[in-house]
Copies of this chain bind each other. A is one copy, B any other.
Amino acid sequence: MLPTGFRGAAVDADLAKGSRLDLALIVSDAAGMAGAMFTRNRVVAAPVALSREHLRQTSGMTRAILINAGCANACTGPGGDEDAMQCAQWVADAVGCDVLEVLVFSTGVIGEKLQMANIERAVPDLCAQLDTGASTVDAASRAILTTDTRPKVIERAIPLQDGGTAQLVGFAKGSGMIHPDMATMLAFLLTDLDHADPSHVYLRGAVMESFHRVTVDGDSSTNDAVLLWSSGTKQQPADDKGFFKALSECTLHLAKEIARDGEGATKLVEVEVRGGETHDHADNCARAIAQSLLVKTAVHGCDPNWGRILAAAGRSGAEIDTHKVKVGIGEAVLFENDEPQPANEAAAAEHLKSDSVRIWVDLATGPCDSRYWTCDLSADYVRINADYRT
């Protein structure tokens, strides 16, 4: 169910390959406050440039968003900028709002132009089908996928002081080009709560602990965006903790689902580093392990190859004393007291067979912890990406 105040729809506009939903429209009955975080890539797609500018000019007040899969509208020159603006204009005309109140998001192949005729034809269809039901969320969450194998949706209720509840609904896409800053992902978080987060402190905080901590392949894209958008129909509770908690749970769930659905992935991998001397040490160590192709291929092969984990930790810049450091997989300790613990390898190999695995390092040099999420690296990742455009 969409939060109150929102309606949505999705259609097959023949923008992505095959018979599938590939264009979604979400409309707020009244302009509602939206905040977004975009890719830090210096090369940004036309829809990112447009949406960033519109949010700036309206201070976030947004009536509608249009999202397409199949084409990123990135590196498409001035023509690409015009196409993005034209899409926004069609939506504005259909919805009856200012073009600045419309945001557009695209994901798919870089360097190809949008099929504008298809979009022009689809926008009236989308407006005619706008609905609030649960199937709408499902349809929208499917319309934004690229190489994802399944939709990623999450919902949380936020208790209000009057005994009622507000809703927070999130959906996201992301599978390849996934990296802390931020991943080839789009994530949309819709709420009816009129929350007080004008400077997007909550959004930044939640993203920092979730989308900024997943890596599939170390690449980041031209189109990444996370949008938090409120229809404002429910009043804010006395404190914002409930809202921040719901938001954090939603972003963390979606981030982990993105890692789990990484291209070719068979497992979600959680990397936990404890006892770093500084937060940077802990973060760098966790990221180095999560990014290591050798760790990720070993996990794929269910090989408890702790030597690769320790080697990745060793190149991360974190202080490591081999007399203190412990390395483990699941509950099994594989390296301790400067010695391998081969007796525990069988238990670790067994743990690696499950579809959610945990790799951990205790640096034992200080108080700082960190977690990252990634997936295993399979031959399918290569197959998917060696002929993505063909």
How many residues from A make CB contacts under 8 Å with B?
67
Q: For residue A342, give the distance in angstroms from its CB to the closest CB of chain B.
A: 8
Q: Would B389 and A77 count as touching, CB distance under 8 A? A: no
**In whole angstroms, how far apart are the Cα atoms of A75 and B313 in the complex?**
13
Does A116 lie at the interface of the complex (its beta carbon under 8 Å from any beta carbon of B)?
no
Which applies to chain A's interface (DSSP): helix, strand, loop or mixed?
Answer: loop
Does A101 lie at the interface of the complex (its beta carbon under 8 Å from any beta carbon of B)?
no
- The residue in chain B whose Cβ has the minimal distance to the Cβ of A109 is B307
Q: Would A314 and B381 count as touching, CB distance under 8 A? A: no
Q: For residue A74, give the distance in angstroms from its CB to the closest CB of chain B.
A: 7
Does A339 lie at the interface of the complex (its beta carbon under 8 Å from any beta carbon of B)?
yes
Partner of A41, one of B314, B381, B383: B314
Residues from chain B with Cβ under 8 Å of A217 in the complex: 293-294
Q: Would B219 and A297 count as touching, CB distance under 8 A? A: no
For window 275-331 of A, CB contacts with B under 8 Å fall at 291-294, 297-298, 300-301, 303, 305-308, 310-315, 317-320, 322
A61-85 toward B: CB 8 Å interface, digit per residue (1/0)?
A: 0000000000010111111000000
Q: Would A42 and B177 count as touching, CB distance under 8 A? A: no
Extra 15 A-B pairs, beta carbons < 8 Å, given A110-B308, A219-B293, A300-B382 = A40-B315, A42-B313, A42-B320, A74-B311, A75-B322, A77-B337, A177-B294, A179-B315, A217-B294, A297-B382, A297-B386, A301-B390, A303-B386, A303-B387, A377-B382
